[in-house]
Amino acid sequence: MKRIGVFTSGGDAPGMNACIRAVVRASCQREIEVYGIREGLQGMVENKIALLQTQDVANIIQRGGTILQSSRSKEFKTPTGREKSMQNLKTHGIEGLVCIGGDGSYAAMKVFNKEFSIPVIGCPGTIDNDIYGTDFTIGFDTAVNTVVEAVDKIRDTAESHNNVFFVEVMGRHSGAIALYSGISSGAESILLPEVTNDYDDLILKFKNKSKRKKRFSIVIVAEGDEEGNAIQIANKFKNSFPELSPKVTVLGHIQRGGAPSANDRILASRLGAAAVEALIDGKTNFALGVVDNNLTFTPLEKAINNKKEFNFDFYNLAEILSL
Ligand code: F6P
């Protein structure tokens, strides 16, 4: 293997730059050339490919976003788009790929590998922490810290006015950010897609006033909760408790930005360097991860087809501590 390509794909996540840096620096150590593919899979289709050298990744470990930029490409989903992409990779002599992204990007890579047999290694980059085969994904820790910082501020005003706050966090299909930020911000309730009776439980809690000595409440809502988003849920809640005036804060994309936490930088650095070694070793179609602090290799297909287990112990812990 003499030349590899690296790209970031799907929603950006803090720590993607640290991962790109690790891929480039580890490759340079092993005398492999690295090509950066800009704007994710769309950039592969459009031939936005250029050599990355060690100095190109200086001073990026602390930066959020991705210097390579990202996209959710429709064109890559077509056979013509993939054909063009392979042609572009061939023109640059690229023999293997490191894909930093989420499960959608992994699925695209599986098809690509099947059609053209190009070796692919995936590094899990998404704030959602919803990828099978790794305890954490790159960006998740930072996103949770961003939410906690925001909720700490909301808590001040909630307490001052005896308010109920519904705080919406990201996670269309995953309640991981809601769960971890809910525990670490001391939320009273957490509403997320993996638990179906959570809204009814919330209503019960508020009806059971004698047990509730609280004067204000923080409810964390994952955007993908089956009851709806935070605005819809707060409206429904208001119908049950007209005497309360719930407030809503939607944290939105601030969760995807900002300097990566130390944990995300370390995870990203480990995985980026390991991806290069994996390609050198002739491994292909693997999703990298860290489980119990050990590096793991999960076949891409398995990573795509399996759902990461939801941590019900954590959910129960949040319930116990919120009483
Ligand atoms: O996949 C990461 C994520 O941030 C999800 O949590 C969120 O639902 C989605 O991306 C939002 O994506 P977009 O910015 O494309 O609307």
CATH number of residue 88's parent domain: 3.40.50.450
The Cα 252–Cα 170 span in angstroms is 6
Q: Would 317 be classed as within a structural domain?
A: no
Please answer whether residues 234 and 248 qualify as being in contact, where contact means their C-beta atoms are separated by less than 8 angstroms.
yes
Question: Atom 15, ligand 1: which residue's CA is nearest?
Answer: 11
Please indicate, yes or no, whether residues 134 and 271 belong to a single structural domain of this protein.
Answer: yes
Please indicate, yes or no, whether residues 267 and 242 belong to a single structural domain of this protein.
Answer: no
Domain total in the chain: 2
Residue 170 CA to ligand 1 center (angstroms) comes to 7
Please indicate, yes or no, whether residues 131 and 221 belong to a single structural domain of this protein.
Answer: no
**Residue-range definition of the domain harbouring residue 155:** 141-256
- Chain mean position to CA 189: 22
Does the Cβ of 11 fall within 6 Å of ligand 1?
A: yes
Please indicate, yes or no, whether residues 80 and 181 belong to a single structural domain of this protein.
Answer: no
Q: Would 48 be classed as within a structural domain?
A: yes
The Cα 19–Cα 66 span in angstroms is 10
Mean pLDDT of 201-225: 88
Residue type, 18: A
Mean pLDDT of 85-107: 98
pLDDT in tens, 15-53: 999 999 999 999 999 999 999 999 999 999 999 999 999
Please indicate, yes or no, whether residues 38 and 69 belong to a single structural domain of this protein.
Answer: yes
Mean pLDDT of 235-252: 96
pLDDT category, 323, cuts 50, 70, 90?
Answer: confident
Please indicate, yes or no, whether residues 119 and 38 belong to a single structural domain of this protein.
Answer: yes
pLDDT category, 214, cuts 50, 70, 90?
Answer: confident
**Nearest-atom index, ligand 1, CA of 72:** 15
**Nearest-atom index, ligand 1, CA of 172:** 8
Q: What is the number of alpha carbons within 13 Å of residue 26 lying toward its C-beta? A: 22
Does the Cβ of 170 fall within 6 Å of ligand 1?
A: yes
Q: What is the pLDDT of residue 131?
A: 98
Please indicate, yes or no, whether residues 26 and 40 belong to a single structural domain of this protein.
Answer: yes
128 has catalytic annotation: yes
The Cα 9–Cα 245 span in angstroms is 41
pLDDT in tens, 69-92: 999 999 999 999 999 999 999 999
Q: What angle do CA 98, 27, 280 make, to 5 degrees?
A: 70
> Is residue 211 predicted with pLDDT exceeding 90?
no
Q: Would 311 be classed as within a structural domain?
A: no
Q: What is the pLDDT of residue 45?
A: 98
Q: What is the pLDDT of residue 26?
A: 98
Q: What is the pLDDT of residue 28?
A: 97
> Is residue 61 predicted with pLDDT exceeding 90?
yes
Rg (CA), the chain: 22
Please indicate, yes or no, whether residues 118 and 147 belong to a single structural domain of this protein.
Answer: no
Distances from the Cα of 250 to the Cα of 31, 119, 147, angstroms: 47, 40, 10
Q: Would 114 be classed as within a structural domain?
A: yes
Residue 288 CA to ligand 1 center (angstroms) comes to 22
- Which residues fall within 8 angstroms of residue 155, CB to CB, at 6 or more apart? 185, 186, 216, 218
> Is residue 112 predicted with pLDDT exceeding 90?
yes
Q: Would 320 be classed as within a structural domain?
A: no
Q: Would 319 be classed as within a structural domain?
A: no
Does the Cβ of 18 fall within 6 Å of ligand 1?
A: no
The Cα 304–Cα 9 span in angstroms is 15
Q: What is the pLDDT of residue 209?
A: 73
SS3 302: helix
Q: Would 105 be classed as within a structural domain?
A: yes
Please indicate, yes or no, whether residues 276 and 297 belong to a single structural domain of this protein.
Answer: yes
Mean pLDDT of 45-73: 98
Q: What is the pLDDT of residue 70?
A: 97
> Is residue 215 predicted with pLDDT exceeding 90?
no
Please indicate, yes or no, whether residues 135 and 264 belong to a single structural domain of this protein.
Answer: yes
Q: What is the pLDDT of residue 210?
A: 63
Residue 197 CA to ligand 1 center (angstroms) comes to 24
The Cα 103–Cα 106 span in angstroms is 5
Q: What is the mean pLDDT of the chain?
A: 97
Mean pLDDT of 240-255: 96
Higher pLDDT, 215 or 238: 238
Does the Cβ of 40 fall within 6 Å of ligand 1?
A: no
Question: Atom 10, ligand 1: which residue's CA is nearest?
Answer: 11
**Nearest-atom index, ligand 1, CA of 177:** 6
Q: Would 322 be classed as within a structural domain?
A: no
225: CATH: 3.40.50.460
Please indicate, yes or no, whether residues 90 and 59 belong to a single structural domain of this protein.
Answer: yes
Please indicate, yes or no, whether residues 294 and 205 belong to a single structural domain of this protein.
Answer: no
Q: What is the pLDDT of residue 273?
A: 98
